[in-house]
Amino acid sequence: MITKGLSCLQNNDTQATVIDPDNVFWAMTAKDAQGAPFVSREILSLYQKQKDSLDEEMKQFRFSAELSAVYIDPTDRCNSNCPYCYVPAKMRKNGAQMTTEQLRQVLNKVLDYFSGKERKPVIIFHASEPLLAKEAVFSAIREFKDKFSFGLQTNGLLLEKGDVEFLKKYRVGVGISLDAPLRSLNNKTRPSASSGFAARRAPRGEPSVKGGNFDAVVRAIEWFDGYAGLNVISTMTKFNIHSLDKMVRFLHSKKVPCVLFNPVRFTQKHSLKVKPDEKLMTKNFLKAVDSAIELSQNSGRRIIVANFSNVILSIVAPEARRMMCDISPCGGGRCFLTVTASGEMIPCGEFIGLKNSSGGNIFKTGIKEAMQSEPFQKIRSRFVEKIAECDVCLYRNICGAPCPAELGSMGNMFQKAVFCEFYKAIIKHAFKLIAEGKEKYCFREEGWDNLVYNYKLL
Amino acid sequence: MAKKIESGKENKKQKSRPVSGEMSYRLKCAKTANGLSHFVMYGDVPKEKTLL
């Protein structure tokens, strides 16, 4: 099957979409009496006019290795025990933790790397649970507030009201983990660590965090009170896929502007135990997307499903994407990297439990050396044209076949995504919404308003 | 009927579209935060009027 140049996607009985999968030029068109797509002279002319520049833009976007963000794990330890975590259990229990001074050293190394570059780098404090090193993290945010844009991913167990005020004051982007809108359901996959130390660390007078993070997260969401920098991250498993629609409505009622529904990854084998049925996950995910659009359209307050928004973006504005998992090669070791609590530089946090992933230790060497290291080059060399099924797929530059860490741990990173059919279905849905003119409801208003036409045929 | 093809920076007003219409378009960022578009994720929090 040849998938070079324009190829046809079947939309419905009367309409088709033609697409060049290499540069994601697309056009929607009517079908003729025989059911074949009618590609007008205007579409062909537009395609011929734009093709070379779109090819070049896509090449630059996919294969440049310009770092824009660094994930830092200030601690390997965690006060949760989620069944799908990609951080090995031993590490979460007894792993390393940076001191305030070590974290300063890391941030200064990052500054050195970005010295002379126009771009203000993004620092994201990430897994395991960064608020176990709260003092070091907050101290760093205070000291480096003018040098970096900061983000924080947390399970919320240790968030106190004063912390929320601090994060809002410093305009920190905050991702908070919540899997379901019901306490019992959420706490199945977001339990506190069995050691009980999470419970002991609960602030005096505050509800115990023993059991799971539901109460702590809902309380924190209310403190955030519609903060533009808040997003909720849900991992889709066999337990929560029936509640995605309710989750969207629940979060919207709490003024949360953004949610991500990420399919569980199988980088660690134990997460296979919570694998959802792919068809059910797809159906419920799309129902949640439609609910988010309906709420955004009718309530005057938007909520976006960010990983779906990224799929829409990959069609209408591919170079505007920020989330890097569905680009091929992915952003790991290319647009971002992770520094673990012991200082190891790995292409992405997902690699933390995998052997031969380190590009060097930041306390001994530099980011430049890590970017040129063999493990980083290996990840950058994994792209869809090298995967047999993807090389002939019309969606190859929309989905990107995630994730190399997950697939590598399963034996071969040069294979299609575990949830390939899920991605195909949501891309089809994205084209349907574009045909209906609903795509703007998939973005924050300021994001959509910030886009202008490169070209249009409407 | 011939459709009009346009290019270049232009604000867009989007209305619901008929499902059977012919169309194609590509968008790009008018301005960026730190060289990147600011849509959803970390580090993209819009600054409020009261600066730090």
How far is residue A424's CA from residue A92's CA, in Å, rounded to a whole number?
Answer: 35
Interface of B with A (CB under 8 A): 2-12, 14-17, 19-31, 33-48, 52
- For chain A, what is the radius of gyration of the CA atoms? 22
Sheet of strand A230-236, all strands in order from the earlier edge strand to the far edge = A304-305, A258-263, A230-236, A173-177, A149-154, A122-125, A69-72, A336-339, A345-346
Contact between chains at A436 and B34 (C-beta distance less than 8 A): no
- Locate the chain B residue with the closest alpha carbon to A436: B17
- DSSP letter at A28 equals E
Question: Chain-centre distance of CA A443, in angstroms?
Answer: 15
What is the residue whose two structure tokens read 């833009």?
A57
pLDDT in single tens digits along all 458 residues of chain A = 556 789 988 777 778 899 999 999 999 998 877 777 788 899 999 999 999 999 999 999 999 878 989 999 999 999 999 999 999 999 999 899 999 999 999 999 999 999 988 778 899 999 799 999 999 999 999 999 999 989 999 999 999 999 999 999 999 999 999 999 999 999 999 999 864 444 444 444 444 446 899 999 999 999 999 998 899 999 999 999 999 999 999 999 999 999 999 999 999 999 999 999 999 999 999 999 999 999 999 999 999 999 999 999 999 999 888 778 889 999 999 999 999 999 999 999 999 999 999 999 999 999 999 999 999 999 999 999 999 999 999 999 999 999 999 999 999 999 999 999 999 999 999 999 999 999 999 988 877 877 889 999 98
* Test mutation, A322, A438, A442, chain B, max B CBs within 10 A: A322
Measuring CA to CA, which residue among A179, A178, A215, A184 is closest to residue A198?
A215
In this complex, do B2 and A322 lie within 8 Å of one another by their Cβ atoms?
no
Task: State the amino acid at position A338 in one-letter form.
Answer: T
User: Whole-angstrom Cα distance, residue A325 to residue A399?
Assistant: 9
Tell me what pLDDT residue A195 has. 41
CA closest to B43 among chain A residues: A149
d(CA A444, nearest CA chain B) in Å: 7
Tell me the ipTM for this assembly: 0.88
Question: Which one of B7, B13, B26, B31 makes the best mutation probe of the A interface by having the most chain A beta carbons within 10 Å?
Answer: B26
Best residue of A149, A152, A336, A432 to probe chain B, by most B CBs closer than 10 Å:
A149
User: Which residue in chain A is spatially nearest to B45 when comparing CA positions?
Assistant: A229
pLDDT at A162: 98
User: pLDDT class for B42, splitting at 50, 70, 90?
Assistant: very low
The CA–CA distances, whole Å, from A83 to A168, A184, A233, A417 equal 31, 15, 15, 21
Distance, in Å, from the CA atom of A145 to the CA atom of A136, rounded to the nearest integer, reads 14
8 Å CB contact of A40 and B3: yes
Count Cα neighbours of A167 within 13 Å in the Cβ-side half-sphere.
Answer: 33
Q: Which of A149, A154, A220, A159 minimizes the C-alpha distance to B47?
A: A149
Residue A357 identity: S
* pLDDT (0 to 100) of residue B50: 33
Q: How far is A205 from chain B (nearest CA, A)?
A: 31
- What's at A192, amino acid-wise? S
Q: Considering only alpha carbons, which residue of chain B is nearest residue A125? A: B42
Q: How many CB atoms lie within 10 A of CB A100?
A: 16
Quote the CA–CA distance of A413 and A142 in Å, as a whole number: 40
Residues of A in contact with B11 (CB under 8 A): 452
Give the residue with greater pLDDT, A158 vs B36: A158
Q: Which residues of A423-447 are buried (b: 16+ CB within 10 A; e: fewer)?
A: bbbbbebbbbbbbebbbbbbbbeeb
The answer to whether A436 contacts B14, with C-beta atoms less than 8 Å apart, is: no
The Cα–Cα gap between A206 and A65 comes to 46
